[in-house]
């Protein structure tokens, strides 16, 4: 049985972070479900791009648990994730099982809002307000931070690295290498 991931999509999500992460994981063979937190209607993302979820979150949860739950950033999207009791319940269930939780850009504020993997190392978009909300974490400035079952990253420019880190955690370093090489990514 292959690995599974659920990406939580809300209004205001950063579209590059969502699409690049979905794409990288699917290239590696991870079955990714794009779950619309507010239903299965098309979601308007942070830059006006519209993305259609695969399923509503309610319907996606019928296939839970997932090996990874992923949250793209975007400040509006991150705020919506942080405010959602349903997202909080999903994240708490994921963490209770010791399974992978991943957040990029501003989305780590949803981790803090719901008390997920507090005390672990994390990063986020380099904004003082966002950093302040992550005071319960060991904050790092790295482009991607992996601390056990928690994976965080900085923003749109790190989305490929974030996706490949998730591939590595789910499928191993060889799968990450095999997935990453054809992408022709430049070294930072």
- The CATH topology of domain 4-183 is Rossmann fold (3.40.50)
Query: CA-CA distance, 71 to 87, in Å (whole number)?
Result: 10
Q: Predicted confidence band at 69 (pLDDT cuts at 50, 70, 90)?
A: very high
Measure CA 153 to chain center: 9
- Radius of gyration in angstroms for the set of CA atoms belonging to the chain, rounded to a whole number: 15
Find the catalytic residue in 43, 75, 100, 105: 105
DSSP H or E stretch at residue 101:
strand 100-104
Q: Predicted confidence band at 185 (pLDDT cuts at 50, 70, 90)?
A: confident
**pTM (global) more than 0.95:** yes
Mean pLDDT across the stretch 151-158? 98
Among this protein's residues, is 45 annotated catalytic? no
Q: Predicted confidence band at 186 (pLDDT cuts at 50, 70, 90)?
A: low
* Interval 90-137: pLDDT, tens: 999 999 999 999 999 999 999 999 999 999 999 999 999 999 999 999
**Where along the chain do its domains lie?**
4-183
Q: What is the mean pLDDT of the chain?
A: 97
Name the least confident of 25-39, 67-81, 137-151, 174-188.
Answer: 174-188
| 21, two tokens | 């992460």
Query: CA-CA distance, 122 to 103, in Å (whole number)?
Result: 9
Query: CA-CA distance, 106 to 104, in Å (whole number)?
Result: 6
């Amino acid at each position: 049985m292959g690995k599974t991931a659920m990406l939580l999509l809300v209004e205001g999500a950063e579209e590059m972070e969502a699409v690049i992460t979905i794409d990288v994981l699917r290239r590696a063979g991870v079955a990714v479900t794009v779950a619309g937190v507010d239903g299965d209607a098309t979601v308007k993302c942070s830059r006006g791009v519209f993305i259609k979820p695969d399923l509503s979150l309610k319907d996606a949860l019928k296939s839970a648990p997932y090996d990874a739950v992923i949250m793209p950033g975007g400040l509006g999207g991150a705020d919506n994730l942080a405010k959602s009791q349903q997202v909080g319940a999903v994240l708490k269930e994921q963490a209770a099982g010791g399974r992978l939780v991943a957040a990029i850009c501003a989305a780590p504020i949803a981790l803090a809002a719901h008390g997920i993997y507090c005390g672990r190392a994390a990063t986020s978009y380099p904004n003082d307000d966002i950093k302040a909300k992550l005071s319960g974490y060991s904050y790092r400035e790295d482009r991607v931070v992996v601390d056990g079952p928690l994976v965080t990253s900085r923003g749109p420019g790190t989305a490929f690295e974030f996706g490949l880190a998730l591939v590595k955690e789910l499928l191993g370093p060889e799968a990450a290498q095999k997935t990453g090489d054809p992408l022709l990514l430049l070294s930072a």
